[in-house]
């Protein structure tokens, strides 16, 4: 069953709620970082909400996603809990990785969120691997990789697309073209007008969609998922979007003007979708206001509770690092050798 049905009033309302939740979460994360509350870096997804929510809503619950260093929006799109996310940003034990991952490493494998990732371009190979696993296990799952315009020319991204295309694996590649890789404009990074041209090299379908239109993203991913799930292989989707905030919090942004940002804000995806729902009578202005204040309360409570929560104890530092403990790995090796599986 599709995660959220964009044809139904319930699905539309939840899509709006998730986009608003991302914006509220990242607005708060930006404030907390500026106040010196959060360790590490935060990269905000504000402005790009329609890509994450549009894409994940078109998937099925059991599908996998891989994320980027700008991953909060992908997590919320996949239905992750904002308190556990906030606790992770704070480095607290209640966080998704028990506070040991932070903003750039939130993962919830059970929910199909295979991880934010500090390595640009590391998501697509994970998605191709997850799709291969699903195929070998004969499971009805697809894997969707989010990655940025700055990752498109990264070598491992091409290896991942090539393998997925050659083996017809159930993968959807989604490029979030937010017009910059750090401070470098997309046209100074690539020699093609549309990054979706990448698809031609692998003989797979490639599309460029308006990433400020949640419906357009949803429709493109719906088609791509269908292709993936029916053995027709991967699709490459470029979503044109924009980040409203700096590359990271603290970026002085000398590479663009306030006017450029305003031009994109005029096409704000949340505002557009909200107006569409109000015009259609799906929600009223009052319902919108109360949804917004419920979300603000949720995020405020998440931040306050996370601030007070416990850090992991230093004695837990080496827990959760590997799937097995060192003694278990040694036992595993010994067993393999005893079984004749070890050839060295």
Contacts to ligand TPP by CB under 6 A: 68-70, 118-121, 148-151, 176, 178, 180-182, 247
Closer residue to Mg ion, CB minimum distance, 148 or 170: 148
Closer residue to Mg ion, CB minimum distance, 54 or 150: 150
Closer residue to ligand TPP, CB minimum distance, 149 or 238: 149
Contact 45, 70 (CB under 8 A): yes
Residue 47 engages Mg ion in binding (rule: CB under 5 A):
no
What angle, rounded to 10 degrees, do the helices at 123-136 and 155-166 form? 20
* Smallest separation, CB 152 to Mg ion (Å): 9
Residues 73 and 50: their CA atoms lie apart, in Å, by: 9
* Smallest separation, CB 219 to ligand TPP (Å): 23
Residues 106 and 65: their CA atoms lie apart, in Å, by: 12
Residue 182, binding choice from ligand TPP, Mg ion, none, Cβ under 5 to 8 Å by partner class: ligand TPP
Residues 163 and 320: their CA atoms lie apart, in Å, by: 31
Contact pick of 26, 49, 108, 149 for Mg ion (by CB under 5 A) = 149
The number of beta carbons lying within 10 Å of the beta carbon of residue 275 is 12
Residue 197, binding choice from Mg ion, ligand TPP, none, Cβ under 5 to 8 Å by partner class: none
Contact pick of 21, 77, 128, 178 for Mg ion (by CB under 5 A) = 178
Distances (CA, A) of 333 to 25, 94, 230, 318: 44, 33, 39, 20
Residues 204 and 26: their CA atoms lie apart, in Å, by: 34
Helix (H) or strand (E) holding 282: none
The piece of 77-85, 140-148, 164-172, 192-200 that touches Mg ion (CB under 5 A) is 140-148
Q: What are the structure tokens assigned to 131, written together?
A: 């799709």
* Smallest separation, CB 251 to ligand TPP (Å): 10
Binding site for Mg ion (CB under 5 A): 148-150, 178, 181
């Amino acid at each position: 069953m599709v995660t959220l049905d964009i044809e139904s009033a319930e699905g539309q309302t939840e899509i709006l709620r998730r986009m608003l939740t991302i914006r509220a979460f990242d607005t708060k994360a930006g404030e907390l970082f500026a106040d010196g509350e959060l360790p590490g870096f935060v990269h905000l997804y504000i402005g790009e909400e329609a890509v994450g929510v549009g894409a994940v809503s078109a998937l099925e619950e059991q599908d996998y996603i891989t994320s980027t260093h700008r991953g909060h929006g992908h997590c919320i799109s996949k239905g992750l809990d904002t308190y556990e996310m906030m606790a992770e940003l704070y480095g607290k034990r209640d966080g998704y990785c028990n506070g040991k991952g932070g903003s750039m490493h939130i993962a919830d494998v059970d929910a199909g969120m295979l991880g934010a990732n500090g390595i640009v371009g590391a998501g697509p190979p994970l998605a191709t691997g997850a799709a291969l696993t699903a195929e070998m296990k004969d499971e009805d799952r697809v894997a969707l990789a989010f990655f940025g315009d700055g990752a498109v020319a990264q070598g491992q991204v091409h290896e991942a697309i090539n393998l997925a295309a050659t083996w017809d694996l159930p993968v959807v590649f989604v490029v979030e073209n937010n017009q910059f890789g750090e401070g470098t404009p997309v046209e100074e990074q690539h020699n093609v007008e549309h990054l979706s041209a990448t698809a031609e090299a692998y003989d797979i379908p490639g599309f460029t969609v308006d990433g400020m239109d949640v419906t357009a993203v949803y429709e493109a991913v719906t088609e791509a998922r269908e292709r993936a799930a029916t053995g027709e292989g991967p699709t490459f989707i470029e979503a044109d979007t924009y980040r409203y905030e700096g590359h990271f919090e603290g970026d002085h942004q000398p590479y663009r003007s306030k006017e450029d940002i305003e031009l994109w804000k005029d096409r704000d995806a949340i505002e557009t979708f909200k107006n569409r729902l109000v015009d259609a009578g799906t929600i009223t202005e009052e319902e919108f206001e109360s949804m917004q204040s419920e979300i603000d309360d949720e995020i405020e409570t998440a931040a306050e509770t996370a601030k007070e929560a416990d850090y992991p104890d230093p004695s837990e530092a080496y827990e959760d690092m590997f799937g097995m403990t060192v003694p278990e790995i040694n036992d595993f090796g010994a067993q393999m050798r005893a079984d004749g599986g070890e050839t060295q």
